[in-house]
Amino acid sequence: MATNRQRETDQTKLLTRRAVLLAGGKLALLSTLVGRLYYLQVMESGRYTMLAEDNRINMRLLSPRRGLIVDRNGEPIATNQQIYRVVVVAEQTRDLDATLNRLGMVIPIGERDRRRVLREARRKRGFVPVMVRENLSWEEVARVEVNSPDLPGVGIEVGLSRDYPIGHAAAHVLGYVAAVSESELTGDPLLELPEFKIGKNGVEKIYDLTLRGTAGTSQVEVNALGRVVRELGREEGQMGRPVALTLDMGLQNFVMNRLGEESAAVVVLDVHNGDVVALASNPSFDPNSFSKGLNAREWEELLSNPRAPLTNKAIAGQYAPGSTFKVCVALAALESGLITPDHRATCVGHIEVGNLKLHCWRSNAKLGFGHGTLNLYEAIARSCDVYFYDIARRVGLERIAQTARKLGLGAPTGIDLPGERPGLIPSREWKAATVGQPWHLAETLMLGMGQSYILATPLQLAVMTARIANGGNMVRPHLARDLVAADRVGERGGQRAQPRPLDHVESLGFSPANLAVVQRGMHMVTNEPGGTAFNQRIKDKDLAMAGKTGSVQVRRITLAERLAGVRKQDDIPWHERDHGLFISYAPVERPRFACAVIIEHGIGGARAAAPVARDVLIEAQKLIPPRGRQIAEARG
């Protein structure tokens, strides 16, 4: 019996120890739980309060207003216009497809837009508005509002769109804006806003970051699903900085109207500071179409147009300069010391080089076989090919190329526009690497009259003319009047604008006497009988211009065709006719403006390009009087 009591005592002690251990364990767990709760609710209360607040309150970006672009006189040429767009909220309509059908009876909705809306509605949350159409007219807005009871989930929103009040006139300069593509996303949340647009071309692209502005913010309260409950606060963004251009829109409009239906390019520069006063490429396009969104038919029409309206011919059109290049060859010959202005050569209508016969433009029975004996002044004035064949052979490829590069040919000018092409000043090394053949003497002779492999843009020809007219100074073309891109445009799509020094003058090192010879020859082109553009001269002596004509073959005339009789330019298809070029500056006594004109397939420089340059320079001097006249008027 004692054994039983002993056993019971031992069991009681065992249970007591277990109960103590269990109670101790529970106490430890309870202490840990209390400690954790204290840590979370007291020590970390601020952190979790902030997280809860962040889940309840969202910060949303607001698109800033894009900066204005104005011309040299302050006239707005790129602005922001209030627009209306119609949106639909999928969760507020029982049948989205039926709602779109009813909406389509009120305003036009394309099938492409319809498919996009249905696709986005499936992808986005039901309470997120989906844009159906933008740029609604006031009449369309009124029709939607009147029919709103029958259009559940449909509403009107107000926004801003880029507007170009001048339309086609400066499209290639201004460029356009459009929605951000996937390849242009950089991680900047502003770029991911559905209504945000960036510069895609022209000044809009080069100065995109300057024009873009700073985003605003909207603080909104949302529920657990992310639906906006109310707006708690709003801070408007900062509008982009304005960009003032050197363009004069009065002159720019005049140039575009003067070109009419021609496929052409015109550049007008201030010869002293490089201001681009006019830069026209024709035919043009309406940049508003890109802002609003082109349809497939409009895009196809632009691409298929043989006159290339999307190409900025002024900076990306590369043409053989033809006889306009003779002023460069003449300057190279004078600078080399191999000829003087009195150097004479005799033109009989052609020159023979080995087995080749190179012809002068004056080499047929109608025009006469050759120019006879001329000096340098007369050769420039009458544009004698044989004379320049002769001096090109004397001077050589290297000296001509060196002078051409100093005058701004063969490399981008650095203008603040995207898409500028470099042109080409050939060399022996270039031909060996590109064509795989050595350079021939006949090619040097052809270079003497601006043919062979040489290419130049109208802007480069205007720069060359300006550097000759201003006494050999390193003028650089630019469009922004007070701003300039820090670097060339790269993958970032634009640059911040920085101040541009405009007063620095750098000499190219040409002899003033040699420049005066070339200037005198260009004066004779337009102002003395026998000059190739004498009939297109400016008769007002105070406004008189100096210039140089050029015509460029776009096809090779065979020997058989010459023997049979070369067809008249008017009798051949448009795309086979010669280009017409003309470079000029005015006024002759105090040069202020340089002008380069190319009329594609215009047959001749004197016939097609010189009349345009004459009218443009007259208008330029009316709109922006030369400095000397301004001073005289101020004193009077």
pLDDT tens, position by position, 163-182: 999 999 999 999 999 878 77
Output the pLDDT for position 567. 60
Backbone phi, then psi, for 512, in 5-degree steps? Answer: -55, -35
DSSP class of residue 331 equals H
Averaged pLDDT, 8-18:
68
Percentage, residues of the chain above pLDDT 70: 81
- Mean pLDDT throughout 123-140? 79
- DSSP structure string for 84-111: EEEEE-GGG-S-HHHHHHHHHTTS---H
Q: Which residue has the higher pLDDT, 35 or 64?
A: 64
Q: Which of 192-206, 290-304, 494-508 has the lowest mean pLDDT?
A: 494-508
- 31 pLDDT above the threshold of 80: no
Taking alpha carbons only, the member of 466, 472, 478, 486 closest to residue 591 is 466
Ordered by where they begin, the domains of the chain are: 60-244 (3.90.1310.10), 312-473+508-635 (3.40.710.10)
pLDDT score recorded for residue 267: 98
- As a whole number, the mean pLDDT across the chain is 85
Between 225 and 478, where is the model more confident?
478
Q: Band the pLDDT of 635: cuts 50, 70, 90.
A: very low
pLDDT for the residue numbered 456: 98
pLDDT of 364 reads: 74
pLDDT of residue 252: 98
Q: Is the pLDDT of residue 303 over 50?
A: yes
- The predicted pLDDT at position 183 comes to 81
Rounded distance, CA 264 to CA 319, Å?
12
Predicted local confidence at residue 157, as pLDDT: 80
pLDDT (mean) for 526-549:
97
Measured between its terminal Cα atoms, the distance across the chain in Å is 144
pLDDT in tens, 411-447: 999 999 999 999 999 999 999 999 999 999 999 999 9
Residue 257 has pLDDT above 60, yes or no: yes
Q: What pLDDT does residue 416 have?
A: 94
> Position 209: which residue type?
L
Report how far apart, in Å, the C-alpha atoms of 363 and of each of 38, 41, 348, 367 are.
106, 102, 8, 7
* Mean pLDDT of the region 265-291: 95
Split at pLDDT 50, 70, 90, the class of 628 is very low
User: How remote is the C-alpha of 457 from its chain's centroid?
Assistant: 15
> Which pLDDT tens digit goes with each residue over 179-218?
787 788 787 777 766 678 899 999 999 999 999 988 777 6
Tell me, what's the pLDDT at 497?
42
Mean pLDDT along residues 107-119: 87
pLDDT at 52 over 80: no
pLDDT given at position 310: 93
Say which residues have a Cβ less than 8 Å from residue 274's Cβ, sequence separation at least 6.
Answer: 466, 475, 476, 477, 478, 502
Q: What is the pLDDT of residues 518-537, one digit of tens each?
A: 999 999 999 999 999 999 99
Pairing of strands 243-244, 69-70: parallel
474: phi then psi, degrees, rounded to nearest 5: -80, 75
pLDDT at 630: 44
d(CA 466, CA 463): 5
Distance between CA atoms of 380 and 547, rounded to whole angstroms? 10
